[in-house]
Amino acid sequence: MRLFRDRGFSTVNAIALVMSFAVFGAVFLLIQFLQSTQHMSPLEAGVRTLPWTGMPLLVAPLTAPLMARIGTRAVLAAALAFQAAGLGWLAAVTGPATTYGEFVPGFVLAGAGMGLFFPPLARLVLDRAPVEYAGVASGTSNALRQLGTVLGIAVLGAVFAANGDMSGPQAFTDGLLPALWVGTATLAAAAAAAFLIPPVSRAGTTAAAPAPEPAEVGA
């Protein structure tokens, strides 16, 4: 828990949780929208999301040169901004009669953001922890992302249930739109928070949390 004394480590992990909260909570509802409102099978709905899930294959290789050029925090902020723009697009166009083609730009934006997100996240998490705690830091980040997914499905699902239901296309849309806007706002706030991550003083340690003594590591 001493790692969380460092503001950068806490901020990075909060951002990881928030991204999973917003994106995977929204995906959970969008997949059901494609099936219940647009009458797609589970397989058809999954295939239709390929512009989202496939974009990281194209975008992820660009992250290393981008981090070298504009900085890790800037790439992380851009990744979150792309995802916020993608969810915002989906929220703006979604309706009972929305065609699949209208969803594609939002899927592409969100997928590009996802492809840019994970490499700078991993770099920042490991940079905020002493080398001796690299495994602990990585495991913490992964656990919080999984927690974010659980919370996203629960909270955005509750937002959906408070505003609509699955009784028909319009009722589903009435519940989905507020949930998408909540996800969009959350991602936008996380994009701004990325610039609050303080710089690292030197490799393997942080300005706010020096590396522990050997005795502490053994303990």
* pTM attached to this predicted model: 0.84
Q: What burial letters (b/e) apply to 24-34, b meaning 16+ CB within 10 Å?
A: bbbbbbbbbbb
pLDDT tens figures, 14-71: 999 999 999 999 999 999 999 988 888 999 998 999 999 889 899 988 999 999 999 9
CA separation for the pair 136, 124 (Å, rounded) = 14
- Give percent above pLDDT 90 in the chain: 61
pLDDT tens figures, 108-138: 999 999 999 999 998 999 888 888 888 888 8
